[in-house]
Amino acid sequence: MARYEIKGGNPLQGTVTISGAKNAAVAILPAALLVKGKCRIENVPDISDVRILLSILEGLGATVEHPCDNVIVLDCSGISSTQPEAALVKKMRASYYLMGSLLGRFGKCHVALPGGCSFATRPIDQHIKGFKALGALVEETEEYVELAAGKNGLQGNRVCLDMASVGATANIMMAAVLLPGQTFIENAAKEPHIVDLANFLNTMGAQVTGAGTDTIKIKGVEQLQGGTYAIIPDQIEAGTYMAAVTAAGGDVLVKNVIPKHMDCITSKLEEMGAEVINYDDAIRVRSTGKLHSTTVKTRPYPGFPTDMQAQICVCMALAEGISHLTESVYETRFFGYCTELESMGAKIEINGKTATVTGRNHLKGSTVCARDLRAGAALVIAGLSAEGITRVENIHFVERGYENLIEKLTALGATIRRIDD
Ligand code: UD1
């Protein structure tokens, strides 16, 4: 099993360019399945989740070209199968988007239940509720979900989500764009990648309005045609590098970001003592050498993202004083990394949804194990900040979501290598 070996203690210096957003890419690629024609998709991150999705689409009959780095030309016109390969679907969470896109295009599908990061029970009842509202009959087992148009066919409808689920919002949007009538998604998620998905669909001819607010309106169209679209920069990858500079020290220009998407993360890092300067499409983060404690509660966008919980926890572990970190999206997420951080010297007490972190002025290298994608990223940050050598095992999780992590960190002066056993 591959692992990272990190020699900590080097401050990070220089420039890092952020890749396209993983969570947007893993929604937009399945959405391309709704399009009859060639979609040229730019700024696609080269990460394992994207590679798996492309294999699934090829298996269904799509043609995939890579004219150059980070650009994919996808033609799903020839797809006829509605049953993606279960073994591949189970490898990642976002494969659940195939349900919405296949249902939208073909009126039916048979999709294995997804895998991916298991930092919590991750139900899909809201996705199913949406599909049913659009007229789908649903057969759900422990292994798969089968959807088919009911006797009145599929048509637009009003769906009010019980919680602002990112996955359900995107899935219902995909299922609805080609249906007759209008669909309203109430209590919709507002994450940047929801807006990106809507922008992609609209570029291809859909009529989606309101993305980024809590009501999304979809006016069904008969067909989507091909076009060119560039994926937004990855908010969480950018936040991860910003947290790394805050924890390990240094001065880094984080390029290819949308500073507005970073506001909530930026303000917490500033509170902790980092200096942050926003430019049009870049952010400079400079550590001042001193970290202060803070209080963070994760929330749906525009709140502090749950996907940055573990990374900010490392900053808290190194800050002066006691910090409080409350998780309100996935309660069990702390268990993915807190014990590992403790083995590096962090002092963390978990009580229900809140972790109380008593800061120390240093962490020490250790052998730690990534249990999910963001937990793995946090352990890398901890390794960069720690004295001595840290070995991060189970790095396939990290590789699901961070493009060229080793190259990017090495260019910033980190001592990190990937070891294949
Ligand atoms: C997406 C992101 C993930 C991020 C999360 C929260 C992708 C591929 N993944 O995951 O990186 O951590 O948003 O920002 O974009 N829920 C239900 N029933 C449902 C759906 C969700 O109870 O049908 C609950 C979940 O258990 C969770 C909350 O709602 O507590 C939010 O989930 P959701 O926004 O759907 O997250 P994901 O789409 O799984």
Nearest CA residue ID for atom 4, ligand 1 = 307
Q: 93 CB less than 6 Å from ligand 1?
A: yes
Quickly state the pLDDT bin for 119 (edges 50, 70, 90): low
Q: What is the DSSP letter of 336?
A: G
Q: How many CA atoms lie within 13 A of 138 on its CB side?
A: 19
Distance 336 CA to ligand 1 centre (A): 17
User: Residue 121: its pLDDT value, please?
Assistant: 65
Of residues 142 and 41, more confidently modeled = 41
CB within 8 Å of 346: residues ≥ 6 apart: 314, 317, 338, 357, 360, 363, 382
Instruction: Kindly give the distance from the C-alpha atom of residue 167 to the centroid of ligand 1, in angstroms, as a whole number.
Output: 6
Question: What pLDDT, in 10s, does the model give residues 361-394?
Answer: 899 999 999 999 999 999 999 999 999 999 999 9
117, pLDDT greater than 80: no
pLDDT of 84 higher than 70: yes
Query: Which single residue is written with the structure tokens 């590789």?
Result: 399
- For residue 81 the two structure tokens come to 């199968």
129 lines ligand 1 (CB under 6 A): no
Run of H or E residues at 12: strand 12-17
Q: Is 338 a catalytic residue?
A: no
pLDDT of residue 66: 96
Cβ 26 under 6 angstroms from ligand 1? yes
Residues 197-243 pLDDT 10s: 999 999 999 999 999 999 999 999 999 999 999 999 999 999 999 99
Side chain identity at residue 99, one-letter code? M
Does residue 22's CB lie within 6 angstroms of at least one atom of ligand 1? no
E strands along 152-222, which residues? 158-160, 182-186, 207-209, 215-219
Task: Tell me if 21 CB under 6 Å of ligand 1.
Answer: no
Q: Which of 28, 163, 374 to mutate to test the pocket of ligand 1 (most atoms within 8 A of CB)?
A: 163
- Alpha-carbon distance of 294 to 168, in angstroms, equals 32
Residues 419, 1 contacting (CB under 8 angstroms): no
Distance 253 CA to ligand 1 centre (A): 31
Q: The whole model's pTM is what?
A: 0.96
Rounded CA separation 168/190 (Å): 12
Give me 384's structure tokens: 């960069």
Q: Is the CB of 159 under 6 A from ligand 1?
A: no
Nearest-atom index, ligand 1, CA of 193 = 15
Q: Could you tell me the distance, in angstroms and rounded to a whole number, from the CA of residue 128 to the centre of ligand 1?
A: 14
Atom of ligand 1 nearest to the CA of 23: 15
CA Rg value for the chain? 21
Residue 101 Cβ contacting ligand 1 at under 6 Å: no
Structure tokens at 390: 């840290």
CA distance 221 to 379: 46
CB-ligand 1 contact for 122 (6 Å cutoff): yes
Phi first, then psi: what are they for 157, rounded to 5°?
A: -160, 180
Closest of 5, 75, 8 to residue 40, by C-alpha: 75
The band of 421, judged by pLDDT with boundaries at 50, 70 and 90, is: confident
pLDDT(81) > 80: yes
- pLDDT per residue over 267-312, tens digit each? 999 999 999 999 999 999 999 989 999 999 999 999 999 999 999 9
Ligand 1, atom 37, residue with closest C-alpha: 167
Q: What is the pLDDT of residue 142?
A: 87
**Residue 109 scores a pLDDT above 70:** yes
